[in-house]
Structure 1
Amino acid sequence: MTQNIPAEIAPEIAIKNRTWAFEEAKAVVKRLRAIGRGQVQTPEKGYVLFETGYGPSGLPHIGTFAEVCRTAMVQQAFEALHPEIPTKMICFSDDMDGLRKVPTNVPQQEMLAEHLGQPLSLVPNPFGTDHPSYAHHNNAALCEFLDNAGFKYEFKSASECYKSGEFDETLLLMLKHHDDIKHAVLPILGEERAASYSPFLPISPSTGAVLQVPILEVNNKNDTIRFEDVDGTIITQKVTGGKVKAQWRADWALRWHALDVDYEMSGKDLKSSADISKKILKILGKPNTAGFHYEMFLDENGEKISKSKGNGLSLEEWLTYAPQESLAYYLFQRPTSAKKLYFDIIPKAVDEYITFAEKLNEQEPAKKLDNPTWYIHHGEVPTTQHTPISFALLLNLVNAANTDDAATLWGFIQQYAPEATPENAPFLDRLVGYAIQYYKDFVLPEKSYRAADDRERTALSALADTLDSMESGLTAEDYMTAVFAAGKENGYEKDELRTWFQALYQILLGQDQGPRFGSFIALYGADKTVTLIRDALDNKLEKSA
């Protein structure tokens, strides 16, 4: 239930940290102090509860990962502040919600359309799997995804919570405060919706659908509500035992109250709804949960990412081209600022993750808490995550070697880092696979070689001659010195060296930029780089593109 934080991170060190995750964790501490009348201690339930929500009307997506990942980071920060207090994370699926519309990306559209309004946990499974319902299939996909990602969590189903009676006590409390809750919500509703609003959505006894109908009577003595069913029958029905579902703003407060949630974050687009839910929670007699509102994901044009539009970058796409750790790193950065999600950001995110991962284990405790990989790897980066080669450099290697064979690429890697093998460097081995896929799908289609002009030909020829005369196996810095010299001694002034480096990438690799060219030579090999340069001078690369 509780992650193991390295003992070197003492609470007196943790309390001084100002990253967003620790600021959020301090808000949880503040809540506990208010509940404990000045004392920060384990709640009566035996742990501090961090919750994330999931709507199983669709499959898990990048927003699902982001919320769970960031919540786990806050949980870890709290554990560093108060290692004596147990914690738990719940991933809550709102599978009692009615199917409002049929997603366009799922099979058996006509069949699903026949079940509009039904709780998602009762809608038949269109996917052909063994799961009994649409929601069960999507819930299983969520759990498989979270398990594979290594999250420690407890899964909860809304349908099970309602039907088992776990929510009954809070539902009766909501019935008692029905009018107060209703009046807390009415100001944000339109006239038509306000006329029929109730925090309770009854389950039709005739069809099983979740109904959005006026509540004709509330009876606290009998724990019932009265409403008109779809066939016109006036029904008196209890609010317990899974016979109602709370309207979603009230449902949020219901969960917080019934489960005694201490922390839940949500998107900025839900801020007004979360504020209403907090008002309802106060009516029910509990202090607010802690939490903040993260910004939305944008595509490369700055437009909000939409599953229906298909713009931006999906979770599956990121994980096709880069490791999960790089996405977690990207999500750690400034969560209250809008983030652009498109393919070009992936290599930079991977290499920035690598840079931080290589530093973490050697940093002093206070500095570690500023390192994003402390939150990704629970305080200590495994040795198997070490890589002597950047992702950008691997992309250039795939480009120059013109191969999608991992074994061939490992041949180059082992010349550069003889101690590395796919077995003792599994993260690097994964990067090789990602680099091949990213190169094939994004670099190769855009690759465009150009011919060298006279000044470039002179400098390139000089560089080839210099490399040809150098010993093999020198350091990247040795080769970088030769690259600098070839430019400076052949017509490039000091303030023009950036132009020289760009020319190298455009002429030799068919792209505008890349990592330090000395590192590329060390990895690809001086002899092969000489051949590459001379092929370029003979216009062989331009013709092969």
Structure 2
Amino acid sequence: MTTASPTTLDDWVSRTADEVIAEAERRGTKVVCASGLSPSGPIHLGNLREVMTPHLIADEVKRRGIECEHIISWDDFDRFRRVPLGIPGVDESWTEHIGKPLTDVPAPPGSAHDSWAAHFRAQCEQGLADLGIIYRGISQTQQYTSGAYTGQILQAMGLRKQIDDVLDRYRTLEREAEAQQAATASAGSQGAEKKRGQKQQAAPTDDELAAAAAAAEGSGAAEEDDGATGAGYFPYKPYCTVCGTDFTTVTAYDDDTTELNYTCRCGHSETVLLKDFRRGKLVWKVDWPMRWAYEKVVFEPSGVDHQSPGSSFVVGLDLAPLFGWQRPIGPMYAFVGFGGMAKMSSSRGGVPTPSEALTLMEPQLLRWQYARRRLNQSFSISFDGELGRLYDEWDALTRRVEAGTAQPAETAAHSRAAATAEQVLPTTAHPVGFRTLASIVDITTGDDDQLLRIVAALDPQNPPPDVAQLRPRLEKVEHWVTTQMTAEERTLVRSVPDGELWSSLEEPQRAAVDLLLDGNGADLPPLADAWSLDGLTHQVYGVPKVLRGFSADQIIKGDKELGAAQREFFKLLYRLLVSSDTGPRLPTLLLAVGADQVRTLLGR
């Protein structure tokens, strides 16, 4: 193996890949990068970091010509913990399924799939495919029910005393940490009471409350008990063969015969041979390190809920060697938020999935959000007006990369967003700025001929030959205008002049309109001769300059009166054209309205 490539770009992905390759060499194994997803509900953009991080590392390893595999373990044998909010057709009656494996829970009404897990897994897989993510999916239901883990289960049961001793050390540490936190909080409270006149501590913000709740909630697997019972410690949890739930308690186990006794909340009691029994699983804190060993995982990141003291990743350091493996390299990643939320939880509903995001974002743009930030950086993805700014940043970066002026880390992030080791993601042949295109789509309302005419006028030297050259970005913009733009933001161009407004204009206002339409014979041409995006930009900004005695080309900074005059002029044009004080950028609006209609609406 080779641990570095002469073309490796300096970014966090490359540096992490160096570490992972070296670790695989040390262990004498190929590079295996792992993700784990629980299809307990919509798999959202926060969960996507669990997939994108190993994908980016695996992709870099593959680019270097080194054998590598990215696996995704679908935790579909996890219990159905609670009824998620916001799933159409699903209500509190679904509480009857709590405690069953996700693959035994019926799919939401109207689904084409045979289980809850299959429904949300398929939903996620389509988004991953559109993002160019290649992986081997592993159903944990299939693994457990096929007997693939039977040897590991029997091994864990035989080592239950050692496992319990490890967990007990962490239980003690957790209790000590909780006691210390309580003492610190108490002392701080008493000290505060003694200080008169001191401001009260600010109440936590909504984002802070969301973050705290999310951290406490963790993942479905992280909430499971660790196997301790009144009858002893057993790192295995059976699903009842009568009611199908895991409201069960192991009461006895015989190492020689593998006879296991359990009772269930439903009243059922049973003795099974564990070597043959297939309706149960290891508790999470044992299951995860067992799977590291089974798949020989070298790299698997996780969120803060898995890496707090006593959590699954932490205890896995001591438990993985019991299965003949070492804990993989596993950095902690920060949360991804949406619309100001500190962490998105799919059990709360209303958070975007990758497929939903891709109706508004080109795949490169979404990949870029994860590729360009270090793992310890949290970030939010928003679909409001910020999306246009994000597209502008991406377009500017693309131009810098093509010109060779981008920084190495920027170039690396762009490369990882635009392509993988297996493919180049589909691109828009003739990209138009998102906000500009949104304004045009808003005004043209589905008329492709008019849209193409306006886009051609943006760059007369390089017009697109057909609308297909504007896709797939055009499709994202059309969906954004339809679903995200409010009625107040929509633009309705007047069909006839506003005679009442025109008659009320004062002479300086009429002079400004005349100058816009006819020019001044010097540095402002007639409007029809300025009919391009750059020309119209020069025209609308130049009119107030000329009226104040400046040249239209003159660069003027800090003139507050000129700034106020420009704003008033723009407001006047908006009122004459769209009966509003604001609207799309004026040059784009003028192009969309057309030269003849502009002259009509402006009193000519």
Q: TM-score range by the shorter chain?
A: 0.7 to 0.9
| Alignment partner of 2:417 out of 372, 376, 392 | 376
Among 399, 423, 429, the residue aligned to 2:474: 429
CA distance in 2, matches of 1:239, 1:506: 79
Deviation at 1:486, TM superposition (A): 2.7
Partner of 1:393: 436
Q: Is residue 124–residue 133 contact of structure 1 (8 Å, CA) maintained in 2?
A: yes
Q: What number of residue pairs does the alignment pair up?
A: 509
Amino acid at match of 1:246: L
CA contact (8 A) 1:505 1:513 kept: no
Contact 1:125–1:133 (Cα < 8 Å) also in 2 = yes
Give the one of 551, 557, 568 matched to 1:494. 557
CA separation in 2, counterparts of 1:166 and 1:54? 19
Contact 2:75-2:141 within 8 A present in 1 as well: yes
Match of 1:469 in 2: 526
Query: 1:541 is matched with which residue?
Result: none
Report Cα offsets for 1:268-292 as digits up to 9, x if no partner: 3332232223332234331221232
SS at match of 2:7: helix
Q: For the structure 1 residues 392 and 106, does the alpha-carbon distance in structure 2 shift closer, same or farther, using more than 3 Å as the test?
A: closer
Alignment pair present for 1:97 and 2:78: yes
Q: 1:315 to 1:532 in 2, by over 3 A?
A: farther
CA distance in 1, matches of 2:426, 2:269: 67
Counterpart in the other structure of 1:411:
453
Q: What is the CA-CA distance between 1:532 and the residue it aligns to?
A: 9.3
Q: CA deviation at 1:340?
A: 2.5
Within the candidate set 356, 360, 369, 1:321 is matched to 360
Structure 1 counterpart of 2:160, one-letter code: H
Q: Deviations over 1:248-285 (max 9, x none)?
A: 23222222121112222222333223222333223433
Determine if the alignment matches structure 1 residue 209 to structure 2 residue 248: no
* Aligned CA distance change for structure 1 residues 57 and 456 (closer, same or farther; 3 Å): farther
Conserved? CA contact 1:229–1:235, under 8 Å: no
| Counterparts in 2 of 1:221 and 1:361: CA distance versus 1, 3 Å | farther
Alignment-derived partner of residue 68 in structure 1: 51
Q: Conserved in 1, the CA contact under 8 Å of 2:84 and 2:349? A: no
Which residue in the other structure is 1:114 paired with? Answer: 96
**Higher mean C-alpha deviation, range 500-509 or range 408-417:** 500-509
Which residue is equivalent to 2:214? none
The answer to whether structure 1 residue 534 and structure 2 residue 528 are counterparts is: no
Amino acid at match of 2:546: E
Query: Do the aligned partners of 2:419 and 2:425 also contact (CA within 8 Å) in 1?
Result: no
Q: Which amino acid aligns with 1:444?
A: E
Q: Which moved more, 1:70-79 or 1:315-324?
A: 315-324
2:27 to 27, 32, 35: 35
Which residue in 2 is equivalent to 1:87? 68
DSSP-derived class of the 2:70 partner: strand
1:289 alignment partner in structure 2: 328
Q: Which of 243-252 and 103-112 deviates more?
A: 103-112
Are residues 1:50 and 2:27 paired?
Answer: no
Q: 1:454 to 1:293 in 2, by over 3 A?
A: farther
Corresponding position: 1:337 with 2:377: yes
Deviation, structure 1 residue 243: 3.5
Shift of 1:117: 1.4
- Structure 2 counterparts to residues 512-523 of structure 1, below 5 A: 520=588
Structure 2 counterpart of 1:349: 390
Q: Which moved more, 1:218-227 or 1:151-160?
A: 218-227
Q: Write the distance in 2 (CA, Å) between the matches of 1:315 and 1:503.
A: 43
Q: Which amino acid aligns with 2:269?
A: T
Instruction: Check 1:312–1:436 CA distance in 2 against 1; reply closer, same or farther (3 A cut).
Output: same
TM-score by structure 1 length?
Answer: 0.78
Question: 1:79–1:87: 8 Å Cα contact kept in structure 2?
Answer: yes
Alignment check: 8 A CA contact 2:418 2:424 kept: yes
- Aligned partner of 2:245: which letter? A
Matched with 1:6 is none
Secondary structure of the residue that 2:19 maps to in structure 1? helix
Equivalence for 2:221: none
Q: What is the distance in 2 between the residues matched to 1:524 and 1:298? A: 36
Give the C-alpha shift of residue 233 in structure 1.
Answer: 2.8
What is the CA deviation profile of residues 49-68 of structure 1, one whole-angstrom value per residue up to 9, with x for unaligned ones?
A: 22221111113322343432
Distance change (3 Å), C-alpha of 1:253 and 1:475: same
* Paired residues for 1:126-165 under 5 Å: 126-165=108-147
Report the 3-state secondary structure (helix = DSSP H, G, I; strand = E; otherwise coil) of the residue aligned with 1:127: coil
Report the Cα distance in structure 1 between the residues aligned to 2:490 and 2:411, rounded to whole angstroms.
Answer: 38
Task: Report the 3-state secondary structure (helix = DSSP H, G, I; strand = E; otherwise coil) of the residue aligned with 1:210.
Answer: coil
Q: CA deviation at 1:456?
A: 7.9
Q: Distance in 2 between matches of 1:287 and 1:532?
A: 77
Q: C-alpha displacement at 1:96, in angstroms?
A: 0.8
Aligned to 1:7: none
Which secondary structure state, in structure 2, belongs to the residue aligned with residue 208 of structure 1?
Answer: coil
Cα deviation, residue 221, structure 1: 3.4
Distance apart, 1:245 and its partner CA: 0.7
Distance 1:502 1:184 in 2: 70
What CA distance in whole angstroms lies between the structure 2 residues aligned with 1:242 and 1:157?
Answer: 14
Unaligned ranges ≥5, structure 1: 1-9, 37-42, 539-545
Corresponding position of 1:168: 150
In structure 2, relative to structure 1, the CA distance for the partners of 1:250 and 1:504 (3 Å cut) is farther
Structure 2: distance between partners of 1:294 and 1:455: 60
SS in 1 for 2:161: helix
Q: Distance in 2 between matches of 1:432 and 1:364?
A: 29
Who is 1:19 aligned against?
11
Counterpart of 2:198 in structure 1 is none
> In the aligned structure 2, how far is the partner of 1:458 from the partner of 1:237?
95
The code of the aligned residue for 1:386 comes to A
For the 8 Å contact 1:326–1:350, the answer to whether it is kept is yes
Alpha-carbon distance between aligned partners in 2 of 1:350 and 1:478, rounded to the nearest angstrom: 24
The structure with the larger Rg is 2
- CA distance, structure 1, for counterparts of residue 424 and residue 401 of structure 2: 7
Summarize deviations over 1:268-322 as a string: whole Å, max 9, x none.
Answer: 3332232223332234331221232222233444543344555665545533433
- Asked if the contact 1:73–1:376 (Cα under 8 Å) also holds between the matched residues in 2, the reply is no
Q: Equivalences for 1:171-320 in 2 at 5 Å?
A: 171-186=153-168, 187-188=170-171, 196=229, 198-213=234-249, 215-230=250-265, 231=267, 233=269, 235-238=271-274, 242-272=278-308, 273=311, 274-310=313-349, 315=354, 317-320=356-359
The AA in structure 1 aligned to 2:5 is P
* Matched letter for residue 488 of structure 1: K
Q: What's the offset of the Cα at 1:157?
A: 0.5
Q: 1:311 to 1:429 in 2, by over 3 A?
A: closer
CA distance in 1, matches of 2:351, 2:568: 31
Task: Render the CA deviation track for 1:330-365: whole Å, top value 9, x for unaligned.
Answer: 233424222223332221222323333455456499
The alignment partner of 2:262 has SS state of: strand
Confirm or deny: 8 A CA contact 2:257 2:273 kept in the other structure.
no
